Amino acid sequence: MIQLTLQERLQQAVLSLMPAADVSSVLVRPCPEPKFGDYQTNALMGLAKRNQLNPREFATQVVEALDVDDCCEPVEIAGPGFLNFRLKTVAISHALVSAAKGEHLFYRTAEVARTIVIDYSSPNVAKPMHVGHIRSTILGYTLAQAFRLLGHKVVTDNHIGDWGTQFGKLLVGWKEHLDQDALAADALAEMERLYKLVNSACDEDEAVLDRARQELVRLQDGDEENLGIWREMIDLSRHQFDEIYGRLKVEFDETLGESFYNDRLKGVVDELTGSGIAEDSEGAKVVYFNDQKALKKHPAMVQKSDGAANYTTTDLATLEHREKSWQPSEVIYVTDGRQQLHFQQLFALYTRWKPQHAMKLNHVWFGAILGEDGRPFKTRSGEIIRLSDLLNEAEQRAFDAVTEKSPDLSEDDRREIARVVGIGAIKYADLSGNRQSDYVFSWDNMLALVGNTAPYLLYAYTRIRSIFRKLEGESIEPPASFSLGQAEEVALAKHLLRFGLVLEQVIDECRPNFLCNYLYELAGFFGSFYENCPVLLAEGEVRAQRLALCDLAGRVLKTGLETLGLETTERM
């Protein structure tokens, strides 16, 4: 909150000297070295140079026009034009008092809400969700939570793969090899078996491949029998998908699969062809990007030589629908990094097709999950790990750990704690690193009670809650001020003030690891505070102030964890 106030006043001071300046890049950020201050900006140097001014002289003029006496010590000019801000204790106290009264939690919601569409998870019908789906699912959900927390409108859409050539093979398998008992026991496993069986047969026997093509054509032509089977495949798949989403506590506003856009695909191709954007190439319809260096050697196909549409066509129709239906300011696609070229083509092509659109098109991509051997994370036999099996193992490992640490708890309590900790550990391990990097999946690391892990943060939260359980219903009034007499109190308070800044950085760069790092540091600051500043043994105003700091730290920690999609527990 204070950082945003400083930033706004700094921008106003710049505008008073340079009315036509673009101040969107004049930002205030935490000082990397606390000895220099609490916040700083280096933006004035670039602004001065662009306007052929001496950076330090310009910084001096800005400081003279800047009014921050109510919250800062005199602003320091460092080097060629850095500004360093050091907060006054009274300003920190004021922010803490208003937060303790429930007026805010160190962040504020947007004055003008944006509409953000987020496309994530997107499993394929008739295939079990596997470990590879977890990154898109967790990352997309967390981004949605962060945008909503800051007051934006979010539409989440699970663009499931429910159409395409694979259904010809699935229909052959369903009609000729279906095991009804296996389907009832595990529908996705049975459909996966059927697909593998027929796919292998197609490689060996042209007649089987021909039957698959015929079944696909019948489906595309609206044959009632094939449509009925196809709908049953979708219903069975979505039922099992929803079980996984229920365990992950992930929800969607829309689940508009690829089939939803079938009726629009021909029109998309016709419009692209009619406007000269798409050209004929050996019977196919292709778009060339001769004016874009990065895509010049990578034309995009929008219709195959047999007249069929493809992913690009469907994604164009999808994006058109999203623009018309929700008028978003931004559309975010959360997929793995292998699809970077596809989305570069899609965004360039859509902008050429719809040049008046004002949407920010954003591909938020991520790296792979590796085993501890550095290879793609799979079972020992080389099979892809099913997501349901992964979640089961996470809960069991967490249960074993809780049982060892707290055997006196009832089994029901241990199971519930294990569910929260186990699922939370998987989510947090995925979110805590740079999303664009591959990460190594390690049970030992993600379930550790020390380090930047979910169990460590969840334990920090239970530690805070244990303080208030000891009060036995004692009423606690928010203090009228905070004296912050010890260094550990000051450090914790200043870190709390930065919560809103971190949330803004998360949505600006779509990087939840910024929030993970913040919460990890918060737990550390709280631990140092708790060890050096007696809380329950303190008296009078000091006790009230320290209890309020504990409460605020707990509320920020809980809000941050919930934004990351983690549940909390009162005991561990």
d(CA 242, CA 74): 57
CATH ID of 387-563, from 1.10.3720.10, 3.40.50.11540, 1.10.730.10, 3.10.50.40: 1.10.730.10
Check residue 113 and give its pLDDT: 95
Q: Is the pLDDT of residue 271 over 90?
A: yes
Where exactly are the structural domains of the chain?
2-87, 115-160+255-369, 166-248, 387-563
Check residue 317 and give its pLDDT: 97
Of the candidate ranges 61-65, 87-91, 100-104, 306-310, the one whose mean pLDDT is the lowest: 306-310
Residue 298's alpha-carbon distances to 287, 303, 306, 365, in angstroms, are: 9, 15, 21, 19
Q: Is the pLDDT of residue 523 over 90?
A: yes
CB-based burial label for 384 (10 Å; 0-12, 13-18, 19+)? middle
Fold observed for domain 115-160+255-369: Rossmann fold (3.40.50)
Fold observed for domain 2-87: Gyrase A; domain 2 (3.30.1360)
d(CA 400, CA 79): 56
Q: Where are the alpha helices (DSSP H) in 275-359?
A: 311-326, 340-353
Do the beta carbons of residue 328 and residue 116 sit within 8 Å?
yes
Check residue 286 and give its pLDDT: 95
- pLDDT tens for residues 445-484? 889 888 999 999 999 999 999 999 988 777 778 899 999 9
- pLDDT tens for residues 174-216? 999 999 999 999 999 999 999 999 999 999 999 999 999 899 8
Q: Is the pLDDT of residue 243 over 70?
A: yes
Check residue 571 and give its pLDDT: 80
The band of 380, judged by pLDDT with boundaries at 50, 70 and 90, is low
d(CA 307, CA 304): 5
Between 471 and 559, the higher pLDDT residue: 559
Check residue 381 and give its pLDDT: 67
Q: What percent of the chain has pLDDT over 70?
A: 99
**Residues 247-263, mean pLDDT to the nearest whole number:** 95
**Residues 270-292, mean pLDDT to the nearest whole number:** 93
Q: With both helix axes pointing from N to C terminus, report the angle between 411-431 and 454-469 in degrees, rounded to the nearest 10.
A: 130
Check residue 308 and give its pLDDT: 81
**Residues 132-137, mean pLDDT to the nearest whole number:** 91
Report the chain's mean pLDDT, rounded to a whole number.
93
Q: Is the pLDDT of residue 119 over 80?
A: yes
Q: Is the pLDDT of residue 431 over 80?
A: yes
Between 142 and 23, the higher pLDDT residue: 142
Q: Is the pLDDT of residue 217 over 90?
A: no
By 3-state DSSP, what share of the chain in percent is helix, strand and coil, each rounded to 5?
Answer: 55, 10, 35
Check residue 378 and give its pLDDT: 77
d(CA 402, CA 396): 10
- pLDDT tens for residues 499-516? 999 999 999 999 999 999
CA angle 395–397–403, rounded 5-degree value: 95
d(CA 10, CA 8): 5
